[in-house]
Amino acid sequence: MIDIRKQIEYWRNGAQEDWQVANELVELKRTRHGLFFAHLALEKMLKAHVCRVTNNLAPKIHNLVRLAELTKLLFLEAQWDFIADFDQYQLEGRYPDKLPTPLTKNKAQAELKKLEELLAWLIKQF
């Protein structure tokens, strides 16, 4: 039998760790890698919600929009737009044909600030 509480804890802890790494990498001007880890943080937080809602394991997917849909949370339109746009950062780290010019440190930090707000909102939804 699946212990959903452990699954939720696993995904939430992983999100927190990846969030810390994302910030450290962006601070070091490793923006492409930092935003990849930021994507992982959001992905894992969404997977924690999927486990909570479905009482089952999260799917082995990386698409943020699909994961957000599975959470059944009532996202604002601006949040949906951000989630859809942020999905671009998972491709950078996985597929060489999807490598855009890395963001500047300031632009990457601005993206992290927006994500920080979304992550805080997601935490409140538990």
> How many helices and strands, by DSSP H and E, does the chain display?
6, 0
Contact predicate 50/58, CB 8 Å: yes
pLDDT in tens, 17-52: 999 999 999 999 999 999 999 999 999 999 999 999
CATH number of domain containing 59: 1.20.120.330
Look at the chain and count its residues: 126
Domain residue limits at 41: 4-124
Angle at 63 between CA 18 and CA 2, to 5 degrees: 70
Q: How many domains does the chain have?
A: 1
Query: What's the whole-model pTM score?
Result: 0.94
CA distance 15 to 102: 23
Token pair, residue 105, equals 């440190």
pLDDT in tens, 59-82: 999 999 999 999 999 999 999 999
